[in-house]
Amino acid sequence: MPDYPAGYSLFGGASSQTGTNLLTVGEETIARDMAISGGMITNTQVLRLTHFTARKSESTTQVRMISGGTAAAATPTLVRMGLYLVDGNGDGTLVASTANDTSLFAATNTAYTRSWTAPYAKVAGQRYALGVLVVTAATAPQLVGNSIAGVGAAAEPSVAPRLSGSLAGQADLPASFTAASLAATGQRFYGVLLP
């Protein structure tokens, strides 16, 4: 069983309920066994964020996400992934990002691994948010993830510590966001930070 930072909860972090299905290489935003195809919908110019607490201190150089049952249609103009360091107030600062790559999510049910423009050393116990932004005039892709469904369920992931959020009207990854600027969403995507 891996060592966890003080105060880390198996039920609130990126792990299965038993903690036995954690990745040995890299770190996931949500548990693999909780992710489903088409579980998270992207919309044009909406930054989607999945928050998590890091369980490992390590340098990350790449990020992996998996497309769901709907691929990105006819070439988007911008597709980027970014990692935000989240402070105690829930505000985020961009600390790692991929270059624009409009070939991302062009096929269904496909894993896409891309390099950060510069390595980033994440810290165990620190709160982060992995973000994805698609700007397109055509169909936006679905991503593997999960969603809390039901009346009022979208607000539940906004309760501290926040699990997910979205920020509309973005032409590119913002350098930062405030907790107050994020809209509630019950959707979370599966992403992996890789050394």
Query: What digits encode the pLDDT tens for the residues 43-73?
Result: 999 999 999 999 999 999 999 999 998 999 9
Predicted confidence at residue 167, as pLDDT, reads: 97
Which residues, in sequence order, are CB contacts of 164 under 8 Å at separation 6+?
48, 49, 50, 51, 157, 158, 185, 186, 187, 188
Question: What pLDDT score was predicted for residue 97?
Answer: 98
β-pairing verdict for 142-147 and 164-167: unpaired
Q: What confidence score (pLDDT) does residue 149 get?
A: 63
* Residue 150: band (very low, low, confident or very high) from pLDDT cuts 50, 70, 90: low
* Rounded mean pLDDT, 131-138: 96
Does 174 sit behind a cis peptide bond, omega within 30 degrees of 0 on the bond before it?
no
Domain spans, the chain: 27-194
CB 112 within 8 A of CB 64: yes
What CATH architecture applies to the domain 27-194?
Sandwich (2.60)
- Global pTM value: 0.87
Model confidence at 18: pLDDT above 80: no
| pLDDT score, position 6 | 45
